[in-house]
Chains A and B, each alone.
Chain A
Amino acid sequence: MAGGAGEAGACAVSPPPLRGLQLVQQGAEARLYRGQFLGRAAVVKLRFPKRYRHPALEERLSRRRTAQEARSLLRCRRAGISAPVVYFVDYVSNCIYLEDIVESTTVRDYITSVQQSGKDTNNLFLLAEKIGEVLARMHDEDLIHGDLTTSNMLLRPPVEELDLVLIDFGLSFMSGLPEDKGVDLYVLERAFLSTHPNTDTLFEALLKKYSTTSKKSSLVIKKLDEVRLRGRKRSMVG
């Protein structure tokens, strides 16, 4: 979810009345709140209506994204991929009530802090391999995340254990196509390399582990290479 500023004067959608409710993040698509729900620490993702969209389209799109997200979270868990538990889905206001991974650290913050401190850099390679492995399993389930970034990956405390949790499946969908999986990886590659300087070898380790874990990886990596050539500022001559 993009961390940018939300719409100015965003719509009168009231937050859910949970105990200890706090706004955690305002993204382009949705607002994230933290609070207590049914006695558990929960996160509420509220997709707010975008005024510039046609209302009929808005209704359908929000609902579809909400449903897709819930569906993908269940699919992940069934395949043994750590993702938040879904407590409740409200299709009227397009809100998902999820498990709050308490005191988690984003992979983004972890990589940055390790690079800054210079300690435990070997852990970064283990982390890269862990990510490669999890993504391979996800793609083997034909599940495409759609928005892979290091901010959409959490580490449960203690961070050193590298207990990875994937989040934000709002743009996810099902597909068996190597092209879609390749693009999924490409999105991560671009986000990864632009957010974390000097991590080429790290990402290579990620892809290597991905290749050895996934049974269908060779076609995916081939597509990834093709997509790289197609990217922005790339000449498609010849």
Chain B
Amino acid sequence: MQHFTHQLELFPDCSVTLVLFNDVKNAVALRKKAMEGSIDGALINPAMIVDPLQILVATNKAVHLHRIGKMKTRTLNAEIIFNLSPNNNISDALKKFGISDNDSAVLIVLIEDKEKTVNLESIISQVEGQQVSLAELHKITDIAKVKKMYRLTPQEEKIGTLLDGIICRMSTKDIA
């Protein structure tokens, strides 16, 4: 099954892997494992994601801040989720972009660098659900919810895609 991996250009030792699951039955347990740290990944609600680039932008920024010790949250995984949000409210971000107890789809973001290797099989085996290719993401995305969250203006939609608007907000929210 297709997972998606990208090596971060600015941090060549660091690679990001995205794994998408549908028909997930154990969201509650997964959340717990993520919070305890037995799953070292960011568990994201894929309904809020329109394209893997959205995750890459959030992750790149998170790794950058992590490396200079300037993260806004306490862990790299939380920082990735926080960076997806168009605003600076951490708990709101974790709630809206992280997974909830009754979610049936989960997107897991795994970071691998020289200090940490990722055991993909182990992660996949812990999810009671069907791993699907990232190409299926668009079927899971809730466009209306995404538009509401990011509040793109009508003028903005004329000059670019939804993804463009999302990325702009993510990358400039700290000085907007």
- Cβ < 8 Å to A, chain B residues 123-161: 153-156, 158-160
Q: Interface readout for A50-93 with B: 1 if CB under 8 Å, 0 if not?
A: 00000000000000000100110110011111100111111010
Interface of B is mostly: helix
- Is A176 an interface position by the 8 A CB rule? no
- Asked if residues A74 and B164 are in contact (CB atoms below 8 Å), the reply is no
- Asked if residues B164 and A85 are in contact (CB atoms below 8 Å), the reply is yes
Query: Least Cβ distance of B71 to chain A in Å?
Result: 14
- Cβ < 8 Å to A, chain B residues 43-78: 53, 56-57, 60-61, 64, 68
Contact of A67 among B8, B57, B160, B175 (CB under 8 A): B175
- Asked if residues B176 and A74 are in contact (CB atoms below 8 Å), the reply is yes
Residue of B nearest to A80 (CB): B155
- Asked if residues A85 and B6 are in contact (CB atoms below 8 Å), the reply is no
Residue of A nearest to B7 (CB): A19
- Is A211 an interface position by the 8 A CB rule? no
| A contact residues around B164 at 8 Å (CB) | 77, 85, 99
Query: Least Cβ distance of A20 to chain B in Å?
Result: 10
CA gap between A165 and B160 in the complex, in Å: 12
Query: Least Cβ distance of A165 to chain B in Å?
Result: 9
CA gap between A160 and B6 in the complex, in Å: 37
- Asked if residues A88 and B159 are in contact (CB atoms below 8 Å), the reply is no
- Asked if residues A79 and B155 are in contact (CB atoms below 8 Å), the reply is yes
Task: Report the interface size class on chain B.
Answer: 20 to 34
- Asked if residues B9 and A87 are in contact (CB atoms below 8 Å), the reply is no
| B contact residues around A82 at 8 Å (CB) | 159-160
Contact of B167 among A16, A36, A85 (CB under 8 A): A85
**A80/B9 contact (C-beta < 8 A), A70-B171, A85-B167 known:** no
Number of A-B contacts (CB under 8 A): 77
Residue of B nearest to A82 (CB): B159
Query: Least Cβ distance of A110 to chain B in Å?
Result: 20
- Is B10 an interface position by the 8 A CB rule? yes
| A contact residues around B29 at 8 Å (CB) | none
- Cβ < 8 Å to B, chain A residues 165-224: none
Query: Least Cβ distance of B33 to chain A in Å?
Result: 28
- Is A17 an interface position by the 8 A CB rule? yes
| A contact residues around B158 at 8 Å (CB) | 80
Q: Interface readout for B158-176 with A: 1 if CB under 8 Å, 0 if not?
A: 1110001101110110011
- Asked if residues B9 and A85 are in contact (CB atoms below 8 Å), the reply is no
- Is B37 an interface position by the 8 A CB rule? no
- Asked if residues B156 and A78 are in contact (CB atoms below 8 Å), the reply is yes
- Is A48 an interface position by the 8 A CB rule? no
Residue of A nearest to B11 (CB): A17
- State which of A37-45, A112-120, A123-131, A145-153 sits at the interface with chain B: A37-45
B interface list, Cβ under 8 A from A: 6, 8-10, 12, 53, 56-57, 60-61, 64, 68, 153-156, 158-160, 164-165, 167-169, 171-172, 175-176
Can you list the 10 inter-chain pairs with the closest CB atoms, starting with the nearest?
A: A80-B155, A38-B56, A74-B172, A67-B175, A86-B171, A82-B159, A85-B164, A70-B172, A18-B9, A78-B153
